[in-house]
Amino acid sequence: MKTIDTINFEGKKALIRVDFNVPLDADFNVTDTNRIEAAKPTIIKVLEDGGSAILMSHLGRPKGQKNSDLSLKHICDKVSDIIGVEVKFVEDCIGEEVENATSNLQSGEVLLLENLRFHDEEEKGDETFAKQLSKLGDVYINDAFGTAHRAHASTTIVAKFFPENKCFGYLLAKEIEAIEKVMQTGEKPVLAILGGAKVSSKITIIENILDKVDHLIIGGGMTYTFVKAKGGEVGDSICEDDKMELALDILKQAKEKGVQVHIPVDVLAADDFNNNANTQVLDVDKIPSGWQGLDAGPKTLKNFKDVILASKTILWNGPIGVFEMENFANGTISLGNFIDQATKNGAFSLVGGGDSVAAVKQFGFEDKVSYVSTGGGAMLESLEGKTLPGIAAILE
């Protein structure tokens, strides 16, 4: 893997694709700095070598139109604070003004370009636009895992113009290694925990990982499609009736491949989908009409704990209850605690996918697992076995 450590940046201008698509409040303050902090080690390596850094990113979805609310100038001061170097800003990402700003850049300096998506050529993967970007640097670094599944000009096409001078940044390299650990090189037993609402959104992941894992925990709303398919009563719980046959097929495939599947045996059910609803613990396959399962029950959590603590490599993708409501967050918090314990015992744990990452942040588990992925869609496509265009472009 061609990482940033294979290059000395002395006297070189590094064109770095970062993922600074960060949330802003009404006053344009950055409310979550994780993505900026994640890019810092790559930027610092370039500067410490004696190079300069040209940062390019998108922010939001301006759809090819200039939009001052989505200008990266709003985050410039925050990037400066985090990196510890004053970051210069230029009000476009291609053109004469930008080329002048980059050619005047001295070793140790950092320049942030304006939002790439102010040009619709970025998302179209336009080659001419990518060539204009390529003029700005001597070396191309992709450190944006969150957009590595998109064949955009700045994430994929631009790499063509740096046949010998392209590499992964530290963040992207760590993401690739973490996924490889789960999918290929992880110590056995390997466990995948898949939660979330729908089987349909996880089919390709499940089918791809059945060859890689020893145990599969299924939780969250997906549970009820499996339970109903096996003849259970799920009341008003979320259920994809048209996916029941598929659920049975997944269980059959798992059995053939020697994968042990663990499905909840009891649930915390409610008589309404709100935090203050009446609740009771019920067997997962005996939920009466008017009730719906919203979290894992105590017997289920005991079973899940045993499996998690016996595992050496753990992937967690998706919550196992409606954790956004305090009264139905216990299952997801307990899961986090079990994974924390397993990690302390030497297991490798990877958390990825939007909702599970949100839960990990909300409940303070970020530093208690081995790795939290920064890319939602990119992470899911990796787990589906796809080669991401942004990664392939560096390897070519």
**Catalytic annotation on 231?**
no
Q: Establish whether 51 is an annotated binding residue.
A: no
Q: Is 377 a catalytic residue?
A: yes
77 is known to lie in a ligand binding site: no
- Catalytic residue from among 108, 354, 385, 386: 354
Give the whole-angstrom CA distance, residue 56 versus residue 65: 17
Tell me the DSSP string of 28-66. Answer: --BS--HHHHHHHHHHHHHHHHT-EEEEE---S--TTS-
Which single residue is written with the structure tokens 């290694």?
A: 177
Catalytic-role residue among 198, 299, 361, 386: 198
| 285 carries a ligand binding annotation | no
Check whether 21 is labelled as a binding-site residue.
Answer: yes
- Tell me whether residue 119 is annotated as binding: no
Q: Which helix (H) or strand (E) holds 267?
A: strand 266-270
Q: Mark whether 174 is an active-site residue.
A: no
Residue 59 assigned to a binding site: yes
Is 50 among the catalytic positions? no
293 annotated ligand-binding residue: yes
* Residue 17 known to bind ligand: no
The residue from 64, 108, 377, 385 that is catalytic is 377
Q: Report residue 338 as tokens.
A: 């079990």
Among candidate residues 35, 166, 181, 368, the one labeled active-site is 35
Q: Which residues in 95-218 belong to E strands, given as ranges?
A: 110-113, 139-142, 166-168, 190-194, 215-218
Q: Is 117 assigned a ligand-binding role in the annotation? A: yes
| Residue 321 marked ligand-binding | no
Burial classification of residue 296, based on how many CB atoms lie within 10 Å of its CB (0-12 exposed, 13-18 middle, 19 or more buried): buried
3-state secondary structure of 351: strand
Q: Is 202 annotated as a binding residue?
A: yes
**Mapping DSSP to helix (H, G, I), strand (E, B) and coil, where does residue 183 land?**
helix
Distance separating the N- and C-terminal Cα atoms of the chain: 11
Catalytic positions: 35, 198, 354, 377
- Return binding residues for (2R)-3-phosphoglycerate: 35, 117, 150
- Return binding residues for ATP: 202, 293, 324, 353-356
- Return binding residues for substrate: 19-21, 35, 58-61, 117, 150
- Return binding residues: 19-21, 35, 58-61, 117, 150, 202, 293, 324, 353-356
